[in-house]
Amino acid sequence: MRIIIYILCLVLFVVFPSVIYADTYKYRDDKGKIHFVIFVSDIPERYRDRAVKVEVSRGRSSASREVEDKI
């Protein structure tokens, strides 16, 4: 029975990979510190207008590209 559950889970992760991924948001607080969160509700209300959705393409986030551009 356990083997069937494992196979079913594996099939679900292969067929529905979007279930694994979540949106990520970043924002900068008043002190200049950058924060990353998964849920918009985790962003304090006063910073929500500053929040930006982090786009991911080919395994690299836009945030990692920004860091590489500065180097």
pLDDT digits (tens, 9 = 90+) for 14-56: 766 554 567 889 999 999 999 999 889 999 999 999 899 988 6
Q: Which secondary-structure segment (H or E) carries 9?
A: helix 2-15
In the chain, domain spans = 20-70
Residue with tokens 């200049």: 32
pLDDT at 35: 93
54 vs 10 pLDDT, higher one: 54
Among residues 2, 54, 3, which one has the least CA distance to residue 26?
54
Rounded Cα distance, 45 and 55, in Å: 22
pLDDT at 21: 62
Rounded Cα distance, 35 and 24, in Å: 10
pLDDT at 67: 47
